[in-house]
Chains A and B, each alone.
Chain A
Amino acid sequence: MFTRQLSFSTPIFLSIFLVQEALISQFRLPGGGFSILLIFALTWSVLSQPEVAAVIGFASGLLMDLSQSASGPFGQWTLIMLLAGYAISYIGYGDDNVHANAIGIVFFVVVATFFVEIAFLISGALLGVSVGSIAQVSLTLIGMSLWTLLVAPIMLPVFTKLHALVFDSRSVI
């Protein structure tokens, strides 16, 4: 079971990472744009059990650390995404208002994106990473959240189908 999940999810993660780095990064979108990998990882985390969500967060964080645009030390995104994945899954686990409701999932993903970026800023500050002026940071935070709000509903059917395929889940939105 575990081997099947791993062999299915690895190419999916790598493909989304490739799309993010080779295609989405071509656009300098206003307000900082969005991260498809972040949206994907958080959507899967909402749909999964807490320990599975932690592994999803760990894997996606590792890929985000491999990105050339990652400014912090290697492992910073891994740690943040691991904790974020576990936390949002733990909060929403067993609650059908979240799992069976597309609006609930999108809401969770947008809020989680906002807090994940704030966690990155705080941990970055502790590790000595410069992040820029408050106005610019605020603009990026709001911009990324709005982009996530725009993109997450569009990608949600694809991401939930992939989740169902890998984890053999019955709930497809």
Chain B
Amino acid sequence: MRNGGRARLLLVILIVTSLFLITLDLRGVKVIDGFRQGTQTILSPFQRAGAVVLNPLGDFFSDVTHLGRTRKQIEKLEAENANLKIRLLNRKNADGQLEQLKDILDLAGTAGYKVVNAKVISHGSSQSFSQTLTIDSGSNAGIRKNMTVLSQYGIAGVVKDVYPNSALIQLASDPSFKIGARIAGSQQIGILSGQGNRSATLQLLDNSTTVNIGDVLLARGSSSNRPFVPGVPLGYVSRVDNSAGAIAQSAVVRYYTNFSILGVVAVVVGGPSSNPGDALVPKKPQVTPIPTVTVTVTPTPSPAD
């Protein structure tokens, strides 16, 4: 009986403590943020080391996930010996990051963004249904909270928290991510919300306008360029919801960025001097004509003829 009473008392104390912590956090008490910041400061060197050691293995899992799409590449790798495979895997990792970095710099250069490049050192766990990643640059590199993060194709996310040598990025796929968007060309505006995957929902603000499949979305930008700089490519409309009873027209948007393969990102630390407008709209792929050769066989006249 006495033991049961003590157990109940312990349970009540622990529940009250949990509720107390939730209340403190919801009221914005700084101490709670300090706990998380301190933890991340301690964890970032370990995450950095983990990223170095496990990057090739991470690529392996990524390849397994996208097996159908990388079959040709895997077949090619299978043809080589084990030593070359390991070398190629490491080289592939570096090349992939270099390629991403080059494209990011092209994107940032076209718009006149001042960027800080960073490597991804950790992906957030999905246990909390959030979509985050950690990069290896922080406040020491000039990164601040609420700055736009770019991938090689466009938006990657926004800086959620900053530590001296690392930063936490909320990906654009995170369910709580929202960004003001405009449709390239028509200038219609709306709000784009993450859905937990590569798709997002667009809610147009004006119901009298129309949106079409294939329309390209760009970031509208925020005042003082934070959290979002203008002109960043977001994605394209993949489905339009034309339900008659809807207050505002909505659409499903597919992000340009593939969030599961991000290895390098760029944080925009300085916005453009002027709005880049539609300058960053991705070019449509050009169809390369395949030359065809027509062979006409003419029968040789036989000697009998």
Contacts and interface: CB of A to CB of B under 8 A. Distances in A.
A9 interface: no
Interface stretch (A62-70, A103-111, A159-167): A62-70
Given A58-B18, A130-B176, A68 B134 contact: yes
Given A28-B260, A50-B7, A22 B43 contact: yes
A71 B123 contact: no
Interface string B29-52: 000100110011001001101110
* Interface of B, helix, strand, loop or mixed by DSSP: helix
A58 B129 contact: no
Given A25-B122, A28-B260, A144-B127, A132 B194 contact: yes
Interface in B51-96: 51, 54-55, 57-58, 61-62, 65
B20 A22 contact: no
Contact of A121 (B50, B129, B168, B176): B129
B205 interface: no
Contact of B195 (A25, A28, A132, A144): A132
B129 A26 contact: no
B130 interface: yes
B98 interface: no
Contacts of A35: 125, 127
Contacts of A25: 47, 50, 122-125
Interface in B122-158: 122-130, 132, 134
B175 interface: yes
Contact of B128 (A28, A58, A72): A72
A69 B132 contact: yes
B220 to A, nearest CB: 21
Interface stretch (B9-17, B109-117, B182-190, B290-298): B9-17
Contacts of B58: 26-28
Interface of A: 18, 20-30, 32-33, 35, 38, 50-51, 54-55, 58, 61, 64-79, 82-83, 86, 117, 120-121, 124, 127, 129-133, 136-137, 140, 143-144
